[in-house]
Amino acid sequence: MTSSDDIAVLRARDFWGAIVLGTLSIFFLWRTSFIPLFGENRAGVSGGDWYNSAALVPLGLFSGLLVLSLILLGISIKSGGAKMAFSALGLGWDKAEAIRFTTLGLILFFYIVGLVPRVDFILCSGLLITALIFGYHGGHQNRMMTSCASVVAAGGYAMFAHLPRSEWALLSDDWITLVLWALLTVVAVSASPRERVARITPILALLLPLVLVLAMAFGFRQNVPNRGGLIFKQIEYHYYVTLKPLWSR
């Protein structure tokens, strides 16, 4: 961080950062007031003294954060950050970076919140790897949006069609993810058939999650996300019913 432009951008970001931090500090100071501080009664039992209260340290921490946020706000305003804080240029964000961040944020959100709990891990991770490599390898914005649309469609369907935990084992979202992954793979390979990365992506996207899940489930004997998923269910069934008896006899 050397150039004065960079520092000006930082001070503009600090303006918003300080406001968010100050607001959160006030919110949590308010929440801290719910914890008994001066020995109030709790369920008929007298609480301890102030110095033993569970609110003591949080009170100090959030007060400290509030003070530091005010100092940061002061530094930002003194350095002209407040003036620049209301323009995208002043914040150092351009359209390309906004598209990159938004698409990437959506992909990660729908992968973790929508797909991983509800869809077979091999399928959803295959889709994620394909989407991220295809979308971000060359830096093309239309590819980022295509990748984002495919993950959001799969994750959005999984999330909204099977929101409650009781429906996480249903398989319609697995099929939709599989179809979208296949389509995206076709698009990725046909977009640049001669490129080495495009040729490697489908192999990587299939093998890596498969090997990882097998190692976790049968090597380390650990839980893996969504054991009832389309592919893993079959693997687990055949491991215990077809393969294991061969060496357990």
Contact residues: another protein, CB under 8 A: 1, 10, 13-14, 17, 21, 28, 31, 35-36, 42, 48-58, 61-62, 64-65, 68-69, 71-72, 75, 100-101, 104-105, 108-109, 111-113, 116-117, 121, 125, 128-129, 132-133, 136-139, 197, 200-201, 204, 208-209, 212-213, 216, 220-225
- Give me the least distance between CB of 169 and another protein, in Å please: 13
Per-position b or e across 23-38, b if 16+ CB within 10 A of its CB: eebeebbeebeeebbe
Residue type, 51: Y
220: tokens are: 């380390």
Which residues have a Cβ under 8 Å from the Cβ of 17 and sit 6 or more positions away? 72
Nearer to another protein, 129 or 178 (CB): 129
Q: How far is the CB of 234 from another protein (least distance, A)?
A: 19
Which residues, 6 or more positions from 40, have their beta carbon under 8 angstroms from its beta carbon? 47
What's the closest the beta carbon of residue 173 comes to another protein, in angstroms?
A: 15
Q: Closer to another protein at the Cβ: 89 or 113?
A: 113
Q: Closer CB to another protein, residue 132 or residue 149?
A: 132
117/228 with CB nearer another protein? 117
Q: Where are the alpha helices (DSSP H) in the chain?
A: 4-32, 56-78, 81-84, 95-109, 116-118, 121-136, 141-161, 172-191, 196-214, 230-238, 244-248
Pick the closer one to another protein by CB: 15 or 249.
Answer: 15
Q: Which is nearer to another protein, 116 or 152 (CB)?
A: 116
Question: Among residues 53 and 146, whose Cβ is nearest to another protein?
Answer: 53
**What's the closest the beta carbon of residue 41 comes to another protein, in angstroms?**
13
Q: Report, in Å, the least distance between residue 190 CB and another protein.
A: 19
Please give the backbone phi and psi of residue 225, each rounded to the nearest 5 degrees, phi first: -65, 140
Residue 240 CB, shortest distance to another protein, in Å, is 20
User: For residues 231 and 127, is the Cβ–Cβ distance under 8 A?
Assistant: no
Provide the minimum distance between the beta carbon of 17 and another protein in the complex, in angstroms, as a whole number: 5
* Whether the Cβ atoms of residue 225 and residue 116 lie closer than 8 Å to each other: yes
Adjacent-strand bridge partners of 46: 41
Structural contact between residues 173 and 119, judged by C-beta atoms closer than 8 angstroms: yes
